[in-house]
């Protein structure tokens, strides 16, 4: 449908780039890209938003502060990505023998990288268990991965979170957590987010 009626959007841009040549991009590759951006990014972003709401609403005065100082919201998003990322861990395969922190890893070894632990490394983030929107190195977290594995949807996720928090703090300054609710996390080693979060205003 997009090929017949292109518009000003990413899918149409990829179809134009393809120009009918499977050597450039196949239709399956375009569909895979859209699934990755729209579906795979949905779970991680919604969980990250929920993690952020849980922590900001749990900090006395911080929700109101974000509403009164919206210029802090971008930093608040980065700090929440560091403090409680929705992607806790990710798998990797060792391509060649390597030694990391005195541990020999053979080629072919399976790794589970604990991104959450790296984001709490006190050598990188002083007082790592404290939420601090004033950190000098806010963007040094690994919530979106690193290098060639860096999340292609990171700019979109940041934008979605910043817009949502700016709108919510501005429109619902008295938003609060429903008291005494149990917080149950999604039972998954790689992804972290509450199964539900009840709020009131």
DSSP per position, 78-110:
HHHHHHS-SB-EEEEE--S-EEETTEEE-TT-E
Q: What is the DSSP letter of 178?
A: P
All domains in the chain, ordered by first residue: 10-85+116-200 (1.10.630.10)
Over residues 145-184, the pLDDT tens digits come to 999 888 888 998 999 999 999 999 999 999 999 999 999 9
Q: What percent of the chain has pLDDT over 70?
A: 100
The residues, any chain, with a CB within 8 Å of residue 37's CB and separated by 6 or more, are 10, 152, 153, 156
Two structure tokens written together for 127: 């007082």
Closest C-alpha among 34, 6, 38, 37 to residue 19? 6
Q: What is residue 35's predicted lDDT score, i.e. its pLDDT?
A: 82
Residue 149: per-residue pLDDT: 84
pLDDT of res. 170:
95
Q: How confident is the model at residue 78 (pLDDT cuts 50, 70, 90)?
A: very high
* Residue 76 pLDDT grade (very low, low, confident, very high; cuts 50, 70, 90): very high
Please give the pLDDT value at position 40.
74
pTM of the full structure: 0.81
Percent share of the chain, pLDDT over 90 = 70
User: How many Å apart are CA 151 and CA 68, to the nearest integer?
Assistant: 31
Chain-centre distance for alpha carbon 1: 31
Residue 59 is predicted with a pLDDT of 86
> Residue-wise over 28-41: b if at least 16 C-beta within 10 A, else e?
eebeeeeeeeeeeb
pLDDT digits (tens, 9 = 90+) for 6-32: 889 888 898 999 988 888 889 899 888
Q: With 90 as the cut, is the pLDDT of residue 105 above it?
A: yes
User: What integer pLDDT is reported at residue 93 of this predicted model?
Assistant: 94
- The pLDDT mean for the chain works out to 92
Residue 142: count other Cβ atoms within 10 Å of its Cβ: 22
**Per-residue pLDDT tens for 45-54?**
999 999 999 9
């Amino acid at each position: 449908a997009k090929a017949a009626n292109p518009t000003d959007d990413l899918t149409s841009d990829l179809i134009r780039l393809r120009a009918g040549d499977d050597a450039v991009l196949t239709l399956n590759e375009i569909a895979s890209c859209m699934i990755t951006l729209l579906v795979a990014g949905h779970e991680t972003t919604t969980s990250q938003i929920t993690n952020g709401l849980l922590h900001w609403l749990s900090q006395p005065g911080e929700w109101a502060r974000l509403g009164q100082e919206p210029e802090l919201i971008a930093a608040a998003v980065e700090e929440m990505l560091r403090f409680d990322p929705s992607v806790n861990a990710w798998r990797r395969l060792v391509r060649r023998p390597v030694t990391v922190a005195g541990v020999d890893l053979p080629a072919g070894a399976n790794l589970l990288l604990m991104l959450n632990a790296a984001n709490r490394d006190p050598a990188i983030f002083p007082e790592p268990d404290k939420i601090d929107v004033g950190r000098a190195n806010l963007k040094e977290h690994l919530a979106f991965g690193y290098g060639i594995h860096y999340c292609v949807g990171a700019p979109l996720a940041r934008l979605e979170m910043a817009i949502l928090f700016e709108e919510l703090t501005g429109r619902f300054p008295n938003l609060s957590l429903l008291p005494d609710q149990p917080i149950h996390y999604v039972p998954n080693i790689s992804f972290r987010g509450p199964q539900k979060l009840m709020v009131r205003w």
